[in-house]
Amino acid sequence: MNACGQPASPEAGGVDLDLSQQLHEKKERLLQLLRGFGSCAVAFSGGLDSAVLARVAFEALGDRAVAVTGISPSLAAGELDECRRLAAEIGIRHVTIETEELNNPLYQRNLADRCYFCKTELFTKMGDWAERLGVAVVADGSNRDDRGDHRPGLAAARERGVRSPLSECELGKDEIRQLARHWGLPIWNKPASPCLSSRIAYGEQVTPERLAMVERAERFLRARGFRLLRVRYHKGDLARIEVPVAELPRLLEPSLREAIIRELMEAGFKFVTLDLMGFRSGSLNQLVPVESLQILERR
């Protein structure tokens, strides 16, 4: 057992048996960095990156580390339950704070900088919470591979002094997945699951009603065995379903097709469509309005 009560990683001569020398050294550098924080609040979505960061923070800091999840209508209820289960498995203290990004007209308008306003709200609330409790550092799970991607939230983190230990230690997504598997975290192979607002086409207003429609539709499909999927909301209450190409035929089986149509219409959609190109993470980025790109360039 380590000092935090966690099982020690299997090692031989100080090197983890199932990690490369380079990844072992990065892990040790990450632990050293977090120990230097003294105390840390981890922005915890329950996804791969934040789970690994929470696991390392707990090993480095014990009860001086806490996982913080922001809750709002843009977080699916199932994701919150998973956050709680995962935090309990890691052993880290878990708290929730309510965020109010949906009250911000700049968030509601849903241009390509939407995530900036979401993260601004989250990190402001986390920063206030951390200051009240004397927690020294707020950290997020951004990693090396996020730097070249469309990530408006990175600007919000930078402006509020949020640290990104995984990125600072040059850890990329594949290495983070290896660490999660090494530690036996159940989400080591979990697909990315962005917030529900990411399902709403840019330029269409984000509302609690539309988020509820998307959540109900995706929950229905997951209950029928579809693991990797998105239900995108488009103008006119149109649903565009994305699943891997290999799973398209099953969606078209008469009984299931009819059940999907009935469920999504009851949820509030007026049109139900199937994307023949299959699942594509970030497919709505193809619809980014020109004015959104101009805003991002200025930021």
The answer to whether residues 37 and 166 belong to one domain is: yes
pLDDT at 16: 62
Q: What is the mean pLDDT of the chain?
A: 89
Q: What is the pLDDT of residue 7?
A: 41
Residue 177 lies in a domain: yes
At 240, which CATH number? 3.30.70
Q: How far apart are CA 204 and CA 255, in angstroms?
A: 32
Q: Report yes or no on 296 lying in a domain.
A: no
In a domain? residue 1: no
- pLDDT for 44-70, tens place per residue? 999 999 999 999 999 999 999 999 999
With DSSP H G I counted as helix, E B as strand and the rest as coil, what are the percentages for the chain, rounded to 5?
Answer: 50, 15, 35
In this structure, the answer to whether residues 236 and 280 fall within a common structural domain is yes
Q: What is the DSSP letter of 226?
A: -
Note the pLDDT tens digit of each residue in 130-180.
999 999 999 999 999 887 666 788 999 999 999 999 999 999 999 999 999
For residues 22 and 139, membership in a common domain is answered with yes
**Letter for the amino acid at 72?**
S
Mean pLDDT in residue range 200-211? 96
Q: For residue 259, give its domain range.
A: 196-287
- Structural domain tally of the chain? 2
- pLDDT (0 to 100) of residue 237: 98
Domain boundary residue, one of 182, 212, 237: 182
Rg over alpha carbons for the chain, rounded to the nearest Å, is: 20
Looking at per-residue pLDDT, the higher value among 191 and 114 belongs to 114
CATH number, domain with residue 161: 3.40.50.620
